[in-house]
Structure 1
Amino acid sequence: MFKWIISYIFIVILIFALSVPTGISTDTVDYNSFGKIKIGMTLAQAQKVAHIGIVQLNGKRNQQDGCFYVQPKSGFQFQRVKFMVVDGKIVTFEINGSNVKTAKGVKVGDSQYNLATYGIKNFQLIGNKNSKQRYFIYAPPKAKNYRIIFESGEYEYITRYRAGKIPEVNYPFGCANYS
């Protein structure tokens, strides 16, 4: 009887935990948005619209100018997600984990051939023969100032991707390229 009660309580807690919204949808990364968060929002706007906390990862505490990174404070599912912030506004979303998909369903760990869902004519490919690193740059037809850049390595799987506005999304080393 006691084991049955413990099992029942565990199931109720698990169902409750899975049904609590985090404020960010895990399958809505697009060239200009991450769930409800849009490129160009301030951190205060992003926190309000997505109902999440945001943690600054580098730079001066409460920094508003220059370039720095923040991360959603929503637990494990967004552990490998960063937002680049320039002069107080979000300019890129960087995804390094396989738990966050693009609006077309592509995620880290997928074959680079899954990028065909975006339409091959909308891509530019940049490669390095020595390192076998490839950058697949998606240019949305109706949004000329935005990109999604998918990176793949030697084994033709997506290792990370970033979405955002030009010029910041083009910085291969993020804030280190910012001047």
Structure 2
Amino acid sequence: MVTGGRISRVDVRQNTQITTLKGAKIGDTEAQIKSLYPGQIKITPHKYVQGGHYLTFVPKDRADRNYRVIFETDGKLVTQFRSGKLPEVEFVEGCS
């Protein structure tokens, strides 16, 4: 996603080879994500997937306070994830 001529968000779908710096990827379990980011995951219900969740990584570093990584799950496994700056990273629909 581009906002004001700058990249504000990147979405990862279907590619299980792309990982975060900690190694999180599509296909990981919710437990794996929580263990990679202990104490930094906020869990909320998925807007469209019954039983699914958004696992939102909230950085502790003050310099990164305006950024997030959001993992979407089916309730068990990560189905896609996105990373970027607020508020764009939290837009559920993204851009198409």
- Same fold per superposition (TM over 0.5): yes
Kindly provide the amino acid, as one letter, of the partner of residue 20 in structure 2.
Answer: T
Q: What is the distance in 1 between the residues matched to 2:69 and 2:11?
A: 10
Give the CA RMSD over aligned residues. 1.7
Q: What is the distance in 2 between the residues matched to 1:91 and 1:146?
A: 10
Aligned with residue 104 of structure 1, among 10, 19, 22: 22
Q: What is the distance in 2 between the residues matched to 1:135 and 1:103?
A: 19
Kindly provide the amino acid, as one letter, of the partner of residue 170 in structure 1.
Answer: E
Equivalent position SS for 2:20: coil
Aligned with residue 125 of structure 1, among 34, 43, 56: 43
Equivalent position SS for 1:174: coil
Equivalent position SS for 1:125: strand
| Unpaired stretches in structure 2, ≥5 consecutive residues | none
| Unpaired stretches in structure 1, ≥5 consecutive residues | 1-83
Structure 1 residue 166: deviation in Å? 0.2
Residues 1:165 and 2:82 aligned together: no
Q: 2:7 is matched with which residue?
A: 90
Q: Which has the higher contact order (CA 8 A, sep 6+)?
A: 2
**Which one has a bigger Cα radius of gyration?**
1
Q: What is the distance in 1 between the residues matched to 2:43 and 2:29?
A: 15
Q: Please state which structure has a larger fraction of its residues in strand.
A: 2
- Give the 4+ runs in structure 1 shifted more than 2 A: none
- State the TM-score, normalizing by the size of structure 2: 0.87
Q: What is the distance in 2 between the residues matched to 1:123 and 1:110?
A: 14
Equivalent position SS for 1:113: helix
Q: 1:141 is matched with which residue?
A: 60
Among all aligned residue pairs of Structure 1 and Structure 2, give the percentage whose two residues are the same amino acid. Answer: 31
The residue correspondences of 1:1-40 to structure 2 (distance < 5 A) are none
Equivalent position SS for 2:72: strand
Count of residues in correspondence between the two structures: 91
- State the TM-score, normalizing by the size of structure 1: 0.48
